Amino acid sequence: MEKKIKGIKKAVGDYNRWDGQARIYHDRSTGDTWTRTYPAGNKSWNEYRDPDIIEVHAKNSRSREKISMKELKEHIEDSDRSFGTPRTGRCRIRAESPIKDRMDAAKATKAEASAEKAKIKAKQRDVLTEIQRQKGATHGIGFWRRRGRA
What confidence tens digit (pLDDT) does each residue in 43-53 have? 666 778 888 88
Statement to judge: residues 87 and 27 lie in one domain: yes
Statement to judge: residues 91 and 111 lie in one domain: no
Statement to judge: residues 85 and 126 lie in one domain: no
Residue 1 binned pLDDT confidence (cut-offs 50, 70, 90): very low
CA distance 7 to 143: 74
Statement to judge: residues 24 and 71 lie in one domain: yes
**Residue 2 is assigned to a structural domain of this protein:** no
Q: Find the domain containing 78 and state its range.
A: 8-96
**Residue 25 is assigned to a structural domain of this protein:** yes
Statement to judge: residues 14 and 68 lie in one domain: yes
CA 12 to each of CA 26, 57, 67, 102: distance values in angstroms, whole numbers, following the listed order:
12, 10, 7, 24
Q: Could you give the number of structural domains in the chain?
A: 2
Residue 101 binned pLDDT confidence (cut-offs 50, 70, 90): low
The pLDDT of residue 41 is 67
Statement to judge: residues 83 and 129 lie in one domain: no
Residue 79 binned pLDDT confidence (cut-offs 50, 70, 90): confident
- Cβ(75)–Cβ(57) below 8 Å: yes
Collapsing DSSP states into helix, strand and coil, what is residue 27?
strand
Statement to judge: residues 24 and 73 lie in one domain: yes
**Residue 18 is assigned to a structural domain of this protein:** yes
**Residue 129 is assigned to a structural domain of this protein:** yes
**Residue 110 is assigned to a structural domain of this protein:** yes
Statement to judge: residues 26 and 89 lie in one domain: yes
pTM to 2 decimal places = 0.52
